[in-house]
Amino acid sequence: MKKIITLLFIFFTLASNAQSNKEIVSVKFGYGSTNVVVKEANSPTLNLFGYSFSSGNTFVGEGIELGLSKSINSSLFVELGFSNFKGADLIYKINSYERTYKLKGFQVPISVNYLFRKEEKRLRINLGAGLQYFKSTLNQFERYVNTNDIQVENQPVGIDISEIHFLFRPGLQYRIVENLTAAFVVKVSLSPKGRYTDNPAISVRYTFITKC
């Protein structure tokens, strides 16, 4: 909770220093997928036809994305976001043995973003950087039939992750009509310990402005 409060403080500090203009705030809604590398996960090696294959340590979830942003000038804006993700899939299955996983979590990114090309252009390139609070829980399951033809299910202890990541977010922004834009952004993050995540997402953003 302290990490999230710190990110909120940074956002409102930056937003309060934005230059005075007609914009009040922009709100964003979108949907995306999250890929997480969990090195701590149990990743058995498969042996097929004399070759060995790793089942991998990358896990995938999907969910909604929300955001608040405030322009500093026509090319620079600060954004605070929230996205959740949930996923479940089959890792592999051989005869009566199968391994599956369930992943859930959320991210709270804060970033400063620069829009390339002039404000009048409908399509603009977005490049941003910042910090992100990342939290997730991974559970892996294995099922098999033992020698007595009884199905057995094992669940190792879940892996909980709670970290601050460095964030990099390239993307594209397209103005549909005045005050309404669509965007495709890929958030790439890396923890000080080397944990990698990426989060491609599509979203729409509406800007509220004063009438005066």
Which of 5-9, 98-102, 165-169: highest mean pLDDT? 165-169
Number of independent structural domains in the chain: 1
Say yes or no to pLDDT of 130 above 90. Answer: yes
pLDDT of residue 52 exceeding 50: no
Q: Average pLDDT of the chain?
A: 84
Pairwise pLDDT comparison (154 vs 203), residue with the higher score:
203
Confidence band for 161, pLDDT divided at 50, 70 and 90 = very high
What is the SS3 assignment for the chain? CHHHHHHHHHHHHHHHCCCCCCEEEEEEEEEEEEEEECCCCCCCEEEECCEEEECCCEEEEEEEEEEEEEECCCCEEEEEEEEEEEEEEEEEEECCEEEEEEEEEEEEEEEEEEEECCCCCCEEEEEEEEEEEEEEEEEEEEEEECCCCCEEEECCCCEEEEEEEEEEEEEEEEEEECCEEEEEEEEEEECCCCCEEEEEEEEEEEEEECCC
Write out the residue range of the structural domain in which residue 30 sits: 2-184+192-209
- pLDDT bin (cut points 50, 70, 90) of residue 147 is low
Is residue 79's pLDDT more than 80?
Answer: yes
Choose the weakest-confidence range: 19-33, 75-89, 113-127, 131-145.
19-33
* pLDDT for the residue numbered 146: 64
pLDDT score of 124 more than 60: yes
> Domain with 97 in it: what CATH number?
2.40.160.20
